[in-house]
Structure 1
């Protein structure tokens, strides 16, 4: 077993100074079998500092939000047929993810995307505007 440590700075879903975590994984495992493990926190953004979470719980929260954003944008793109860069996104004060198409989409497309996101993450975790 050969472990590799990596610094992960969450620049897209954490405000400056962005959360930064050290993680590690076994480099000898095939790509699809690698498991990223939290090692330590190096820096915490103001949003996540306010949660009072630390360590693994903080990492899980920040990583979960980032994963939800990436998956939601990919799913919205796939369902609507619009390229991923044709959506804007952001978090509100309650850390609800809002996704908005930059172009006209039909109410049916928005509803399909919203329903798929609700199934994936639970109701009211991601809002399609």
Structure 2
């Protein structure tokens, strides 16, 4: 179970990310949104600081989704029938993802909103 070396630990970490990307619909949504925000930020020529904040925000949402997936797998492994406390664990874990995603939208709007509206207005003529 323990990693033999650093390379093996990186490979196993990558497998965990890949599992979540392949199995969890919400991770696909978060990644697609993150990539779209990154592309828009580059297109709008945001500052390096703003880009760093956006990247950190995207990373937080992705990390919470990874943790949420791990929590769901652990609960499903331990509890094989419905239990109200298992539901609470899953709901709270999903809530953490929701809160991070909600505030990432606010951060994205603050950083990109005015710039995006101005750029689209210029393009519209």
* TM-score normalized with structure 2 length: 0.36
Q: Which has the larger radius of gyration?
A: 2
- Structure of higher RCO (CA pairs closer than 8 Å, 6+ residues apart): 2
TM-score (normalizing by structure 1): 0.35
Structure with more helix by fraction: 2
